[in-house]
């Protein structure tokens, strides 16, 4: 067969197909497959013509179809907007307590992993802790649950005379601190005292009862506590509450603390919370828990009625907690001339008083009785609880 009778070269077809292949790698592979037929001599082209032609046709169909599909997809595609599922709001809980352990111990001092150092020179014993905790939701006739571990912390001030906290007063400051510690030791008054230099002293051992809270009331979500000498630990700052002013609104009623005292209170509280699994809500001030059973008045003691540095000690502001003495037992509060019928100053213990008064009045209304009558019912419940507690605990001062 002569060259004149051969079909035309497949080059134009191959080139047209190649021009429409956008991807350079794919185009190159196509030309590598079908390209050799375009450079064969005419005498040998016939033997490759059929496979080359078929390959060109198959490639045309494949790549042409791909081009058509890509064009169709490009025209019909729509932006895909992926909407992430809304995340549930994260409710910040109380920060997790770090692990605190004892690093060193002797008859004179203890050292802990968080930097706390406790001086034990003044440590004394009284008698082992034992107290009743009453279920908040339990029957009025419940005899309570006997317990030994501390359930909370009460913060106090020593109310001892204060010298100017100045470098030139070091000698007198130390003398006054030692005198205060000796008095506290004789009275078995607190479990711990933090002096003006931030030094932490153990007075009554944690395993024993200290005479720090006397007649007092507190409650958490599960348990109700009466007379906290045994059930709560007592921490006192060497400090003095100023003379009364306009009320517990943070002005003129807050004992002055040194920065060292606050730092020491933070590490001491951290250790006690970790060791005894004490709820943060059970760390309160003396003014919040103190009551007088003789006249059913709360706030018998006024230390830390305002201004306690809860946040700086690593605690929530528990001043906003309704006072359990009012809500559970009907006590009234006349500290600083408090009048529940009048707007109260903001801040301090007034926040908890106002919340407790509102709760008591709402409960009385739901029961269809007047607040005064409901207080009488609650007072009878308090008298029963107090008698039960006194059967197993020494009466507080």
E strand intervals along 282-348: 283-285, 291-292, 297-298, 332-333
What are the pLDDT digits (tens) for 315-332? 999 999 999 999 999 999
Indicate if 137 and 233 belong to the same structural domain. Answer: yes
7-21, 111-125, 341-355: range with lowest mean pLDDT: 7-21
Task: Give CA–CA dist 358/361, Å, rounded.
Answer: 5
Indicate if 42 and 155 belong to the same structural domain. Answer: no
Q: Say if residues 228 and 152 touch (Cβ distance below 8 Å).
A: yes
Task: Give CA–CA dist 67/73, Å, rounded.
Answer: 10
| pLDDT for position 89 | 42
80-89, 94-103, 176-185, 316-325: range with lowest mean pLDDT: 80-89
Q: What percent of the chain has pLDDT over 90?
A: 60
54-68, 235-249, 272-286: range with lowest mean pLDDT: 54-68
Among all chains, which residue has been given the structure tokens 């790698």?
25
80-89, 229-238, 357-366: range with lowest mean pLDDT: 80-89
* Domain containing residue 321: CATH number: 3.40.80.10
**Phi, psi values for residue 146, rounded to 5°:** -80, 130
Task: Give CA–CA dist 199/119, Å, rounded.
Answer: 8
Statement: residue 83 has pLDDT above 50? no
| pLDDT for position 84 | 37
Q: Is there a domain that residue 180 lies in?
A: yes
Q: Is there a domain that residue 237 lies in?
A: yes
Indicate if 107 and 59 belong to the same structural domain. Answer: no
Indicate if 46 and 109 belong to the same structural domain. Answer: no
Nearest to 101 by CA among 265, 266, 274, 263: 274
Question: How many other C-beta atoms lie within 10 A of the C-beta of residue 304?
Answer: 28
Dihedral angle at the C-alpha atoms of 144, 149, 151, 156, nearest 10 degrees? 120
Task: Give CA–CA dist 79/358, Å, rounded.
Answer: 57
Task: Give CA–CA dist 312/319, Å, rounded.
Answer: 14
Q: Is there a domain that residue 319 lies in?
A: yes
Kindly state the average pLDDT of the residues 348-363.
Answer: 92
Task: Give CA–CA dist 37/39, Å, rounded.
Answer: 6
89 or 287: which leads in pLDDT: 287
Q: Say if residues 219 and 324 touch (Cβ distance below 8 Å).
A: yes
Q: Is there a domain that residue 78 lies in?
A: no
Indicate if 249 and 106 belong to the same structural domain. Answer: yes
Indicate if 147 and 242 belong to the same structural domain. Answer: yes
Give the chain's mean pLDDT: 80
- Token pair for residue 212? 């720090």
Domain region containing 289: 102-390
Work out the pLDDT band at 364, boundaries 50, 70, 90: very high
Indicate if 35 and 133 belong to the same structural domain. Answer: no
Q: How long, in residues, is the chain?
A: 397
Work out the pLDDT band at 334, boundaries 50, 70, 90: confident
Work out the pLDDT band at 256, boundaries 50, 70, 90: confident
Q: Is there a domain that residue 317 lies in?
A: yes
What are the pLDDT digits (tens) for 29-76? 555 555 555 444 545 544 544 444 444 444 444 444 443 334 434 444
Q: Is there a domain that residue 84 lies in?
A: no
The pTM of this model reads 0.74
Indicate if 316 and 222 belong to the same structural domain. Answer: yes
| pLDDT for position 391 | 85
Domain count, the chain: 2
Nearest to 227 by CA among 383, 378, 396: 396
Indicate if 167 and 24 belong to the same structural domain. Answer: no
Indicate if 234 and 329 belong to the same structural domain. Answer: yes
Task: Give CA–CA dist 202/195, Å, rounded.
Answer: 11
| pLDDT for position 194 | 98
What are the pLDDT digits (tens) for 129-161? 999 999 998 666 678 899 999 999 999 999 999
Q: Is there a domain that residue 94 lies in?
A: no
Q: Is there a domain that residue 80 lies in?
A: no
Indicate if 123 and 53 belong to the same structural domain. Answer: no
Indicate if 144 and 269 belong to the same structural domain. Answer: yes
């Amino acid at each position: 067969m002569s060259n004149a009778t051969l079909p035309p070269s497949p080059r134009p077809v191959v080139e047209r197909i190649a021009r429409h292949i956008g991807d350079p790698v794919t185009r190159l592979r196509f030309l590598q497959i079908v390209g050799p037929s375009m450079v064969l001599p005419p005498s040998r082209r016939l033997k490759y013509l059929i496979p080359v032609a078929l390959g060109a046709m198959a490639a045309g169909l494949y790549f042409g179809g791909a081009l058509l599909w890509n064009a169709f997809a490009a025209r019909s595609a729509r932006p895909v907007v992926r909407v992430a599922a809304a995340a549930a709001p994260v409710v910040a809980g109380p920060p997790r307590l770090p692990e605190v352990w004892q690093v060193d111990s002797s008859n004179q001092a203890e050292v802990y992993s968080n930097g706390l150092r406790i001086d034990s020179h003044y440590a004394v014993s009284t008698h082992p802790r034992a107290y009743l905790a009453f279920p908040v939701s339990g029957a009025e006739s419940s005899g309570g649950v006997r317990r030994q571990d501390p359930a909370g912390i009460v913060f106090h001030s020593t109310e001892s005379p204060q010298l100017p906290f100045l470098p030139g007063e070091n000698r007198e400051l130390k003398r006054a601190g030692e005198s205060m510690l000796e008095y506290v030791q004789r009275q078995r008054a607190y479990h711990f005292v933090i002096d003006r230099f931030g030094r932490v002293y153990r007075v009554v051992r944690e395993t024993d009862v200290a005479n720090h809270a006397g007649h007092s009331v507190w409650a958490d979500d599960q348990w109700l506590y009466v007379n906290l000498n045994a059930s709560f630990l007592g921490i006192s700052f060497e400090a003095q509450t100023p003379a009364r002013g306009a009320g517990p609104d943070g002005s003129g009623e807050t004992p002055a603390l040194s920065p060292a005292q606050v730092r020491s209170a933070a590490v001491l509280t951290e250790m006690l919370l970790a060791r005894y699994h004490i709820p943060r809500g059970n760390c309160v001030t003396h003014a919040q828990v103190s009551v007088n059973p003789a006249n059913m008045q709360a706030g018998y003691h006024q230390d830390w009625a305002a201004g306690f540095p809860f946040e700086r000690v690593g605690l929530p502001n528990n001043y906003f907690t309704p006072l359990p003495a009012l809500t559970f037992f009907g006590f009234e509060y006349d500290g600083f001339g408090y009048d529940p019928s009048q707007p109260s100053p903001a801040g301090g213990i007034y926040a908890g008083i106002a919340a407790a008064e509102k709760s008591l009045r709402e409960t009385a209304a739901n029961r269809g009785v007047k607040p005064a009558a409901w207080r009488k019912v609650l007072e009878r419940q308090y008298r029963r609880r107090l008698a039960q507690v006194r059967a197993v605990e020494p009466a507080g001062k």
